[in-house]
Every structure is written in structure tokens, then in C-alpha cells.
Amino acid sequence: MLRIAIAQINVTVGDLPGNQKKILEYLQKAKMLKSDMVVFPELALTGYPPEDLLHKEHFVRDNLKVLKKIAFQVKDIIMVVGFVDIDRNKNLYNAAAVIAKGKVRGVYHKHDLPNYGVFDEKRYFAEGNQHPLFLFNDICFGVNICEDIWQDEGIYLSQAQRGASLLINISSSPYDYEKLERRERLLSNRAKESKAYICYANLVGGQDELVFDGGSFVVSPRGRILARAEQFNEDMLVVDLPIDDERKKRRDSKQFIQLPTDGELIGRIVAHKNIMPRMTQDERIFKALILGTRDYVWKNGFKKVVIGLSGGIDSSLVAVIAREAVGCENVIGITMPSPFSSPETRRDAQALAENLGIEFKEIAIKEIYEVYLKSLSSGFAGLPSNVAEENLQARVRGNILMAFSNKFGWLLLTTGNKSEIAVGYCTLYGDMSGGFAVIKDLPKGKVYEISRLANNIIGPVIPESVFDRPPSAELRPNQKDQDSLPPYEVLDKILKMYVEDHRSCAAIVKKFGNLQIVKDVIAMVDRSEYKRRQAPPGIKITPRAFGKDWRLPMTNKYREA
């Protein structure tokens, strides 16, 4: 019998003293719950991903000092915790320390370093080549890190074959809307392959564009999930594992690191934490948006956020998320009508603010806009009004919002969705101005779905008219999004194939027909790369977001043959 505690914590990248404090708090909790072992996520000491902080030698040195301080506090329990290790040749390793009785007793170096999607681990780390196993009270376990268990027939299998009846995988696995199912299915299969218990300790929290969704769990050797921690929250999952020592015979004792034991803690039974039910996919998206926003705001030292409210669905959803993230007293909505704004959108913006209980301001842009036109009149003489004037309105609004941001230290949240950002239907230095782009990875169709869900969960805060009105940027008389773009149902499907799946024009046309529409959409995506490069970061929701996951050249003349 082994009582294992998974400390699913929310740490901050670089905050070594803060992370140390949190780790020690959870260490105490685990001890109070009479756990034999407490497990923390991948790189819990430094936060994940530390990126180029790893190029600072002093940062790595400081992380080792913190590890030592933590180890000194570890008595009467075993701790597994992620940190950055360094060897004498100055190679860095994404590492796990196994700590007992005040000392690091063993270290594992991650073998399989992901270097795709949002990951750049080969930029920083060398691959591990040691495979220590650990023996504690006659129970043999192996530790591995995140990707190590995703690679077929990887290190996890050899650990099991060499005698481990428990595999501890510490992870910092970023959320996307498909990830939970993939992860649980995979780990369940790995447990069956390995005929071992698997204890999966995941990080939770937001870090720039990434959200780590937690949802740590324990799987039995038959592949059954025995216990699951919360998603999108810090949590401590304590599980009694009925591990016997049947594999003893197969062991070659020289392979093991024998950990000092504290017999008295073993064998006292508490109830397992109940298995947290899975949320629906849309509930998880909503939670991810809230957590990602809250952590960006708070971890960067902001208290309040400001949002331009147009009365449309995008800014309405962002306001809802912001209120859920930081509280109504910390959200300011500003509506900035122009002569092209309808009374209905202005009214809806105000209704939303009232429903949410957030501060609401109104600043008309007409006068400012007209002085710009006057100042530009000699330069633009004789030319028809076009996108230059439309963008100017968006930029006046951006300036007003940024003026409030600068004056009061409020973080400006942008409100663009993925469909718009994909085709460049947005104004650089206008509606793209802001520090954090909450829904930049939500396609327009999903914006409606999540808005509907939000109204269902927290009450009808977004007015129904916002759902019913055709989307419009209101930058010229009677403008509708559909004047310039295909219907969003069509657009979103094309974008899914082109952006998320990197499919060809030919393949997309084969599926949806209409060569001209597909070609137009692809051309729009290709030529707005420069805008995305200057866009604020936002929360990754799909398997491929515009961020670290999407590295297209701006200078790019590729056109399909």
C-alpha cells in the first residue's frame, strides 16, 4: 500500500521564491494527509515553459539553490519535483528530483524532448540517458516526464519491464480542446502495456498563450482511471495504491536507488478523492478562457482590465470572461460610438455592462475622427474613402482605450476572434491594440456557442439581440461582415482545414467545392501574416493556434501549383 499525493499547483514562470513557497505549502498538506509520497509537475520549480530564461546561467543556478532549500524541508515523505538540471559540460536537462530525508536521492532526465507545435525543448535541453528506478518500502517505481510517455515503446515501458509497479509521469501538458480525451486514452493504454499503476501529475494555470488544465489522474494496471483531480484549478489528489511487490523476483537490485523509509506513515487508509467528472468540451473552453485571462492579468501584476464594448458578440463574450476572471469591480467597459454605429449596438453594450455589473463609459469618436480627416484632407485630396478611413476609426478607438490603460494601469483586452484574425479582418493598432487577446483562438462559430453557454451558466447577461444581429464592424454605413467575407459557417470550415490542418487548396475544394471562395480565403490568410506577427498573445484553445504553433514566414510567395 502506498499513499500518493499529486500536488497539482499553479506556479509562475521565473518566480523561484514564490514557487518554492507554494511547493512547501503543498508538501505540508501532503504530510497532514499522511501521504507516503508527494508529486509535483514538470519544471514546477521554474514554471513552464521558462524559454530563454534557460540561457541565463544565474537562473539555472538559482533554481538549483531553491531545489536544495526545498529538499532540506522534506522529512517523513518522498517528494518528486520537476527542476532544471545541469551537468559539468553545461548541458541542461528537463529533470525530476526524487527527494527523501532532506536530500536529493536521485535525478531523472527527460528522454524525449518535444520540439514541435508550441514546444522548443531541443533549443534548451540535452536528452537524458540514465534510467534510475527507485525502491521505497519494497515498492519499485520509475519517474518519467511528459513526452516520455507519449512516445511509443519509450522509457516508460523499459521502466516497467525492469520491475517498476508504479510509473510517475510529471507533466506540463498544455490544454487544447481535444487534449483531455487524448491524454486519458493514451495513459490508460500505457498502464495496460506496462501492467503498472500510472500517476499523472499535470500543471495547472495560464502562462502567456498557454493554459495548463490540470486534470491529474491515477490509472490502474488495467487501464481504469481510479481518481482524477479538478481541471483548471489547483488541487491535491491523494490516492492509496494497493501496490504489492510481486515483481520483486524480476529485479536486479543493482539497478535501484534505495530510498530511506519512514514506516510509520504506511498503510493508514483515507478515502480516495472522488473522481472529478469531466466537463463538456465547451465548458472546458469557457474555463480555459477564464483561467488564461485571470493568470495573465494577475501574474503580470495588473488589477483591472479595460475592454472596448461594441455591442457585438465578440466584445460581449470577452467582457463576460473578464468578469468571471477578475471580478466585476475590476472590469471597465468603454463604448465608442461613431456616426456609423447603430443605436441598437450602443444600447446592447450598455445593457451588457449593467447585466455584468461592470463600470461603463462612453466616449464618442466623431469629433476626433473628423479632425483627422481634416488634417489628412490635402494629402488624400480627390481620393475616395476606403479602408484607410475605416481603419482610422478603429485606431481612434484603440488610442482612447490605450490612453485609459496608460493613465490608470488597466490591461487592455482585445476582442478579435480567430476567424477575423485568420483572414486579416481586423485593424492593426486599432481593434488589435491591447495586451492580451482573450478569444483570438476561438472561431466565430465557437464565439456564439461559448456565449450561449455563458448565458446558460451565469444567467442571461448577453442580450439576445447580440446573438440575433448580423455581425458588422460598423465602419461604414450598413456594413456587414458578410459583404467582405463568406458566411462564417463556411469560413470556419475552410479555416479549420487550411490553418489547423495545413491542407491544400485542392483538398479543401474537394471537400467543400467553390474554388473561388477557397482561393480567396487562402489569399486573405496568407497576406495577413504580418498583422498576426504584431498581434497580442491570446489563449490557445485549438490544436493549432496563431502563436508559437504557427510560424509562417511573412515574406512568402508560395502559391500552390
Nearest to a second copy of 448, 498 (CB atom): 498
- What would the x/- binding string for a second copy be over residues 386 to 405, using CB under 8 A? xxxx-xx--xx-xxx-xxx-
Q: Which residue is catalytic, options 22, 34, 140, 146?
A: 146
Report how far residue 360's alpha carbon sits from residue 307's, in angstroms, rounded to the nearest whole number.
Answer: 10
- Binding part of the chain for a second copy, among 91-99, 186-194, 202-210, 338-346 by CB under 8 A, reads 202-210
Q: How far is the CB of 393 from a second copy (least distance, A)?
A: 10
User: Least Å distance between CB 497 and a second copy?
Assistant: 12
b/e burial code for range 296-329 (CB count within 10 A of at least 16 → b): bbebeebebbbbbbbbbbbbbbbbbbbbbbbeee
d(C-alpha 123, C-alpha 54), whole Å? 10
Contacts of 484 (CB under 8 A, 6+ apart): 425
- Active-site annotation holds for 234: no
Considering beta carbons, is residue 163 or 292 the nearer one to a second copy?
292
* Strand, helix or coil for residue 465: helix
Instruction: Considering the complex, state which of residue 470 and residue 553 has its C-beta at the smaller distance from a second copy.
Output: 553
3-state secondary structure of 191: helix
Least distance from a second copy to the Cβ atom of residue 160, Å? 27
Q: How many residues interact with a second copy (rule CB under 8 A)?
A: 86
| Pair 94, 68: CB distance under 8 Å | no
Among 338, 504, 509, 524, binds a second copy (CB under 8 A): 504
Under the criterion CB under 8 A, does residue 50 sit at the interface with a second copy?
yes
Residue with smaller CB distance to a second copy, 433 or 451: 433
User: Site residues for a second copy, window 135-174 (CB under 8 A)?
Assistant: none
Q: Nearest distance from residue 385's CB to a second copy, in Å?
A: 10
Give the angle subtended at the CA of 189 by the CAs of 184 and 191, to the nearest 5°. 95
Could you tell me which residues come within 8 angstroms of residue 354 by beta carbon, excluding any fewer than 6 positions away? 360
The C-alpha atoms of residue 415 and residue 418 are separated, in whole angstroms, by 10
Q: Whose CA is closest to 361, among 337, 345, 328, 384?
A: 337
**Using alpha carbons only, how large is the chain's radius of gyration in Å?**
26
Known catalytic membership, residue 184: no
* CA separation for the pair 472, 493 (Å, rounded): 20
CB of 292 to a second copy, least distance (A): 11
Evaluate whether 113 touches 127 at the Cβ level (below 8 Å): yes
Q: Report how far residue 196's alpha carbon sits from residue 208's, in angstroms, rounded to the nearest whole number.
A: 35
CB-count burial class (<10 Å; 0-12, 13-18, 19+) for 526: middle
- The residue (of 449 and 500) whose beta carbon lies closer to a second copy is 500
Window 84 to 123, contacts with a second copy (CB under 8 A):
115-116, 120, 122-123
Least separation in angstroms between CB 103 and a second copy: 21
User: Catalytic: which of 22, 34, 110, 531?
Assistant: 110
366 is catalytic: no
Is omega for the bond preceding 471 within 30 degrees of 0, making it cis? no
Q: Which of 29, 51, 193, 257 binds a second copy (CB under 8 A)?
A: 51
Residue position matching grid coordinates 496563431: 546
Residue number, 232 or 546, with CB nearest to a second copy: 546
Residue with cell string 525543448: 121
Residues 340-379 that bind a second copy (CB under 8 A): 361, 363-365, 367-368, 371-372, 374-376, 379
Give, as ranges, the residues between 517 and 536 that touch a second copy (CB under 8 A).
Answer: 530, 533-536
Nearer to a second copy, 189 or 386 (CB): 386
Task: Work out whether 538 is an interface residue with a second copy (CB under 8 A).
Answer: no
| 552: contact with a second copy by CB under 8 A | yes
Residues in 271-310 at the binding interface with a second copy, rule: CB under 8 A = 295-296, 299-300
Cell 484574425, located at residue:
421
Question: Among residue numbers 409 through 448, which ones bind a second copy (CB under 8 A)?
Answer: 428-429, 433, 435
Positive or negative: CA dihedral 108, 110, 129, 5 = positive
Least separation, in Å, of the C-beta of 353 and a second copy? 15
The least CB distance from residue 123 to a second copy, in Å, is 6
Which residues belong to the active site?
A: 42, 110, 146
